[in-house]
Structure 1
Amino acid sequence: MLKAVLFDLDGTLLDTATDFTRVLNGLLNEHQRPLQHYEAVRRRVSDGARAVVNLGFGIDPDHPDFAALLAAFLDRYETQIAVETTLFPGMDAQLRKLEAQGLKWGIVTNKPSRFTEPLLRALDLDGRCGSAICPDHVTHRKPDPEPIYLACKELGVNPKEAVYVGDHRRDIDAGRNAGMATIACAFGYISEGESVEDWLPDYIIHHADELETVLAQHRKKLEEAPCP
């Protein structure tokens, strides 16, 4: 039986790119650097804050100024974490349908708890999700399956009774490594040159509204599977 749905955070459950763009451009403006367009930042968000700083300043982590710029970016983001961030269109309705059906849902993200927890509180999601696993809760982050295993443990489900929804290759790899079905979000923060089909997910959705249909397909597949 399908008992739970796990989500990646940025680019899957939440549209955070506008806040990332605004924070980055504020920092770039102070350093008299050219501002970045939203679309350019959007393509880098799923790769983390380091990738966003790299985009804006054109320097790698081994550059002597990188650590200070990263710290400044993260400090700013922490204070402006949910100014324009929202659930993706249609996602709240999908979550409510899961809840109405008695399905548990949780979050497995590579976003540190320093940012994840206040973000969920700001959007009134902290009391709704049954688990929110961040990299500082585990030894190994995605694509290692450890954080998914921990989320399943907290939700009280077997990984085979859950699906993982994400917008990055590592999400699909993590779900596969945990032995669960995967759903790729083609509407998410897909890096330039990437194709979700190449990740070989079990399902692909192009809008949050499609999640209900895909989950129904997966339930039917589970029901028709031969007993071991």
Structure 2
Amino acid sequence: MSLKAVLFDLDGTLVDSVPGLAEAVNGVLLEQGAPVCSEEDVRVWVGNGPQKLIERALQFRHISMPSEQALERFRHYYNRTLGNAVCYPGVREGLAQLKAAGLKLACVTNKSSHYTEPFLRQLELTDTFDLVLCGDEVDRPKPDPQSLQIICDRFAISPADAVMVGDSVNDLIPAEKIAMPRIAVSYGYHQNKPLDEHQPLQICDEFSAVVELCLS
């Protein structure tokens, strides 16, 4: 491929953040006197931002709670558990390779900016990206293509000059809508939805394969 930029989803693509998210979700559930959920449950629910995540957990336990209150309590706990996350194998090295090759790198996430900056800082990824765009910084977050188009506009490139790398249909659908090439990773949080339906160039089992494809 002849690329000018690579756009990455964050949670489930670059970083396994489920342990910290699950701790925060369970903090809310325990407050409500409900049984906790498993990390595997949370892996299925992740992908549309914190509001949807906590809503899915509450629905799972049949708890009725005002949305704003639920989100506030989730944030209370997630501020404490945010750092319980790790980069997937090969991510740091791979991003460095892509950057050294002269590619623009962007992180496009539905995570709110309130969490994303400290999250990237704790993982020592802050200086890796030329641009970070969060879910609360756009009117229509993924799976709407608005955030991907904004990044292309800021990089002064067309969608065809970039590739979107993600672990779920929420990453592939927006790229598909603007005819941006896309690469899926199999190891993340795909909400049990088939990735091949959205015609990724490849479904990669390891991050090193993503890097190899981007540099080919």
TM-score of the two chains, using structure 2 as the length reference: 0.89
* Range that drifts further, 116-125 or 3-12: 116-125
Equivalent position of 1:132 in the other structure: 132
Equivalent position of 1:188 in the other structure: 188
Q: Which one has the largest radius of gyration?
A: 1
Equivalent position of 1:10 in the other structure: 11
> CA, structure 1 residues 116+161, in 2 after alignment: closer, same or farther (shift >3 Å)?
same
**Contact 1:17–1:85 (8 Å) recurs in 2:** yes
Verify: 1:147 aligned to 2:162, yes or no. Answer: no
Measured against aligned partners, the alpha-carbon deviations of 1:103-160 in whole angstroms (never above 9, x if no partner) come to 1211111222111122112222222200011233223222332211221233343322
Equivalent position of 1:223 in the other structure: none
Equivalent position of 1:224 in the other structure: none
Equivalent position of 2:57 in the other structure: 56
Residue 106 of structure 2 aligns with an amino acid whose one-letter code is G
Equivalent position of 1:69 in the other structure: 70
Aligned residues: 215
Give the structure, 1 or 2, with the largest relative contact order (CA under 8 Å, sep 6 or more).
Answer: 2
* Range that drifts further, 180-189 or 156-165: 156-165
The whole-number CA distance in structure 2 between the counterparts of 1:188 and 1:88 is: 9
Residue 191 of structure 1 aligns with an amino acid whose one-letter code is Q
Task: Please show how residues 1-150 of structure 1 align to structure 2 within 5 Å.
Answer: 1-58=2-59, 63-82=64-83, 84-150=84-150
**Contact 1:184–1:196 (8 Å) recurs in 2:** yes
Equivalent position of 1:205 in the other structure: 204
The whole-number CA distance in structure 1 between the counterparts of 2:74 and 2:156 is: 37
* Range that drifts further, 122-131 or 180-189: 122-131
Structure 2 residue runs without a partner (length 5+) = none
Partner SS state of residue 47, structure 1? coil
**Contact 2:49–2:135 (8 Å) recurs in 1:** no
Equivalent position of 1:168 in the other structure: 168
Partner SS state of residue 202, structure 1? coil
Partner SS state of residue 12, structure 1? coil
The whole-number CA distance in structure 2 between the counterparts of 1:146 and 1:164 is: 13
**C-alpha displacement of 1:91:** 1.1
The whole-number CA distance in structure 2 between the counterparts of 1:64 and 1:122 is: 32
TM-score of the two chains, using structure 1 as the length reference: 0.84
**C-alpha displacement of 1:101:** 1.2
Q: CA RMSD in A?
A: 2.3
Structure 1 residue runs without a partner (length 5+) = 220-228
Measured against aligned partners, the alpha-carbon deviations of 1:58-105 in whole angstroms (never above 9, x if no partner) come to 379x944443122101222134312x2121111111101112212121
> CA, structure 1 residues 181+76, in 2 after alignment: closer, same or farther (shift >3 Å)?
same
The whole-number CA distance in structure 2 between the counterparts of 1:166 and 1:126 is: 19
Percent identity of the aligned residues? 32
Partner SS state of residue 46, structure 1? coil
**Contact 1:143–1:173 (8 Å) recurs in 2:** yes
The whole-number CA distance in structure 2 between the counterparts of 1:211 and 1:161 is: 16
**Contact 2:27–2:74 (8 Å) recurs in 1:** no
